[in-house]
Structure 1
Amino acid sequence: MVNLSKIQIDDKKLVKVYQLMFEILNEADDKDDFLGIIKDILSPPEQLMVAKRIAIIYLLLKGIDQSTIAKYLKSSRATVAKFSLLFYDKESKLIGIIGELLNRETISNFFEDLFADIFISPGLKIGHWQMHWDHKRRQKERTMIDA
């Protein structure tokens, strides 16, 4: 549980604190730098909490039902329901970013399937069977996640 002081910070100071946080997070050049900064700032339970919240919103936008999300992420159904209500029919910046990720994922999956159908010819070239089965395995994993 996060321990917060009951003493409120005035708005000007809060803006400066958020600006400082933005500047620090903005210094990350790649994923490893970002994860290093996050590990320095947040405790492991806080990291897990933030990651689960984002995953819950992502899976809700994908259309996965709440009980499946709760079981998959090992969180309570009440937590999933809370985020479902918070982001139901709401257009926030986070929803926009996750929506773009879902669109890119759909497009990238489409192109991967298209190129696999065109270029992978098992039986014609040596090594294509392995690529064929790797592609089929990735397709099966995607359908398991989407289901």
Structure 2
Amino acid sequence: MTQISRRALGPDVQKRIYEIFVDVLKEVQTSSEVQSLLEDFLTPTERVMLPKRLCIAYLLLKGYNHRTISSYLKVSFTTLNRVSTALKTGGQGYTLVLKRLQKQEKIEKILKQIEEGIVSMLASIGGPTQVWKHIQNEQRRQTYRNRKPF
């Protein structure tokens, strides 16, 4: 995990550096620029964990339990609890981003695939198969209802 230097910055300096960081993020405009920045800026582990946290937030908002999410995404309960706590104590950033993402069809498809993967995983573990079949059928019905004609 990321470590912070023992030599702490003053609160004013730390606040100003954070403001500059946020300004830099606001200036990034294209997805290739975002990808380039993240590849340079984040470690390989962070590039895996940050998207997983976003996915955890999505699945928690959808009502999946911690054990199911942990099994499917291969994350610890500590990570799950951290995201869950963030959602419960505010979570406005997660909620805002997820609502925007759901408006994009491409992202919606990926999130649906993740949900379907969880449903099929649970059915294969020996859960009540009829319940999961019902959930899958309901999801398919919603997909057809929400489908655009062209």
| TM bracket (short chain) | 0.5 to 0.7
Give the match for residue 86 of structure 1.
Answer: 86
TM-score, normalising length: structure 1: 0.63
Q: Distance in 2 between matches of 1:141 and 1:46?
A: 23
Answer yes or no: is 1:70 the counterpart of 2:70: yes
Runs of 4+ that moved beyond 3 A: 99-102, 140-143
Give the match for residue 42 of structure 2.
Answer: 42
Structure 2: segments with no counterpart, 5+ residues: 120-150
| 1:69 Cα deviation from its structure 2 partner | 1.1
Q: Deviations over 1:63-117 (max 9, x none)?
A: 2221121112111133213322332263523323324434x36xx69xxxxxxxx
Q: Distance in 2 between matches of 1:143 and 1:76?
A: 19
Structure 2 counterparts to residues 76-115 of structure 1, below 5 A: 76-88=76-88, 90-102=90-102, 104=103
1:95 aligned partner, one-letter code = T
- Structure with higher Rg: it is 1
Structure 1 contact 70–77 (Cα < 8 Å) conserved: yes
Structure 2 contact 87–94 (Cα < 8 Å) conserved: no
- The percentage of aligned residue pairs carrying the same residue is 25
Structure 1 contact 57–84 (Cα < 8 Å) conserved: yes
Instruction: Tell me: CA distance 1:91–1:81, structure 2 relative to 1, closer, same or farther (3 Å).
Output: closer
Structure 2 contact 68–118 (Cα < 8 Å) conserved: no
Q: Distance in 1 between matches of 2:62 and 2:89?
A: 14
Give the match for residue 122 of structure 2.
Answer: none
Answer yes or no: is 1:144 the counterpart of 2:139: no
Give the match for residue 126 of structure 1.
Answer: none
Q: Deviations over 1:9-53 (max 9, x none)?
A: 222211221122123222322111101101111111122222222
The SS at the match of 1:63 is coil
Structure 2 counterparts to residues 43-62 of structure 1, below 5 A: 43-62=43-62
TM-score, normalising length: structure 2: 0.61
Structure 1: segments with no counterpart, 5+ residues: 110-137
Structure 1 contact 61–99 (Cα < 8 Å) conserved: no
The SS at the match of 2:88 is coil
Structure 2 contact 72–118 (Cα < 8 Å) conserved: no
